[in-house]
Chains A and B, each alone.
Chain A
Amino acid sequence: MKQYAYFPGCSLEKIALSYDKSSKESAKSLGVELKELEDWNCCGATTYFHVDQLLANTLVARNLAIAEKAGLDLVAPCSACYKNAFFTNKYMKEDPELADHINYALEEDDLHFNGSINVWHLIDVFADEIGMEAIKEKVTKPLEGLKVAAYYGCQIVRPRKNGENVEDPHFFEDLMSAIGTQPVDFATRLRCCGGSLIMTSREAALDMVQKILQNAVDNQADVIATACPLCQINLECYQAQVNEEFGKNYSMPVLYFTQLMGLALGVPPKRLGFGKEFVSVMPFLSPYLAKEAK
């Protein structure tokens, strides 16, 4: 079984527990083991970088060095964790002076960054490493007829990492098609959910969330699929506040793409973290969940 050093990140410990569970389960049913990184620390999200860049890189480097010790590539399900790990890895590989400076500090924890591993977002592992064909072969319960708005958000595709298509990517839709769903047109799929502005600039963030939800509704999506805990929280947990602020009546379920994949791969729903939603998924998922119960 292929292994990765799995860096869940702080959100997946609790607030996005369903992402954690469904990631491990879907990966397992595709022959991939996500082995949790030993004693990992917070990647700093965006906030370390507001305060001190060298400290930020050092704390991310600690996680990279732990993954190197295990001899495994690092995979992050959270887009912010992924972006931070990817660029710290890249900058330290390119800049030996930066790596030396940070390694001098990492000695205190008996760690060393050698630059021997790569960093992936979890969705890359499914879309590129495993691949659509292999996924299609393993699907036992295709989610036929489910209309999915595949929401990329920001940091999976931006800033550009490996020359990918930042204006019109399609791997998320392809992945959703591979499990039988019907991806809908979704113009705001690459627009920002507001990120941490939900805490620091509430009015701006709710406005951003509203535009994304409205676009999903306009395109008759049944659910929004996300690949980032902060996107999920902003789009779902703050939906009630958007409704109040904008006089709307949205009731749009927002699921992790791994929850949908798990269902299609035949994983029992209770192992995919369903039941923690603010907005019920039952209106749209009951046909697929019922099939499971038989």
Chain B
Amino acid sequence: MATTLPFSKEIYNLLYASHGESLKSCIQCGTCSGTCPVVEFMDQTPRRLIGMINADMKEEVLACNTYWFCASCYHCTVRCPSQIDIAEVMYAVKRYTIWHKEHKKDLVGPDFSEAWVRTIVNSGRSYEPILAPTYMFHFGPKEFFQEALTATNLVLKGRIPVLPPRIKRLEQFKKVIRKIIPVGGSS
């Protein structure tokens, strides 16, 4: 399927649950880009990203960091005059790049998300210390030191649990997941 459909159609198909208007209704007004609090750190603005998806510019879309820098604040979503749920579009493209293992190099987001989901599938609860390696090693020496200091303070203040928490009915929980994702994998 992926080989026969144009890129824009593949992304539209991933938006089945977004309950918003289709990306095709974008009028390129730029309200999203003007609203976005992270826009200055993005390779392409949200407005351009939508334009690029609609123009089937697959390679360019997959090469940019835009959606992985979306913090899911939904400010663009509530302001879009065409009622496009733009934050959900960002989610859809994130999923696309994870499934196809095609995303910009040196991004932390994809590894972090996959590690998080693995943690939850295995224990039912999230646990910060397990997630730290997915981003700590992307840091330079200064940031690494700063983060270690913050983590130490959290431990000293009693804000990090010593043992990873887990739910009680873990076996049943895993069976629920296997029924939804029959291949048994989370990533």
Contacts and interface: CB of A to CB of B under 8 A. Distances in A.
Interface of A: 10, 13-17, 39-42, 44-55, 57-59, 62, 91, 98, 101-102, 104-110, 154-155, 158-160, 166-167, 190-192, 194-197, 199-205, 207-208, 211, 237-238, 240-241, 244, 276-278
Given A39-B169, A45-B116, A51-B117, A158 B77 contact: yes
A45 B180 contact: no
Say whether chain B's binding surface is mostly helix, strand, loop, or mixed.
Answer: helix
Nearest to A238: B150
A47 B153 contact: no
A196 B161 CA distance: 19
B26 interface: no
14 contacts: A10-B126, A16-B159, A17-B159, A39-B167, A52-B95, A53-B95, A54-B181, A62-B176, A101-B180, A109-B173, A192-B38, A199-B134, A201-B68, A241-B150
Given A62-B173, A154-B73, A41 B167 contact: yes
Given A50-B91, A105-B180, A208 B126 contact: no
B116 A191 contact: no
Interface residues of B, number: 65
B172 interface: yes
Given A13-B161, A14-B159, A244-B146, A42 B125 contact: yes
Query: 8 closest Cβ contacts across the A-B interface?
Result: A192-B73, A158-B74, A108-B175, A105-B179, A109-B172, A50-B113, A47-B116, A154-B73
A158 B75 contact: yes
Contacts of B78: 158-160, 166-167
Nearest to A41: B124
A196 B77 contact: no
Contacts of B157: 276-278
Interface of B: 17, 19, 37-38, 40-41, 68-69, 71-75, 77-78, 85, 87, 91, 94-95, 98, 107-110, 112-114, 116-117, 120, 124-128, 131, 134-135, 139, 143, 146, 149-150, 153-154, 157-161, 165, 167-169, 172-173, 175-177, 179-181, 186-187
B37 A192 contact: yes
Contacts of A166: 78
Contacts of A57: 17
Contacts of B177: 55, 58-59, 105
A207 B91 CA distance: 23
Report which residue of B98, B116, B176 has the largest number of chain A beta carbons within 10 angstroms of its beta carbon. B176
B165 A51 contact: no
Given A50-B91, A55-B180, 17 more contacts: A15-B159, A41-B125, A47-B116, A54-B180, A55-B181, A62-B173, A105-B180, A106-B176, A109-B173, A158-B73, A159-B78, A192-B38, A197-B38, A199-B112, A204-B41, A207-B40, A208-B38
Contacts, number: 190
Contacts of A48: 116-117, 120
A191 B19 CA distance: 24
B186 A14 contact: no
A41 B174 CA distance: 11
A216 to B, nearest CB: 16
Contacts of B120: 41-42, 44, 48, 59
A34 B41 CA distance: 41
B176 A51 contact: no
B50 to A, nearest CB: 17
Contacts of A154: 71-75
Contacts of B19: 91
Nearest to A90: B19
A201 B146 CA distance: 15
B167 to A, nearest CB: 5
A47 B180 CA distance: 17
Contact of A195 (B73, B75, B114, B179): B73
Nearest to A56: B117
A204 B159 contact: no
A199 B173 contact: no
Contacts of A167: 78
Contact of A51 (B41, B75, B114): B114
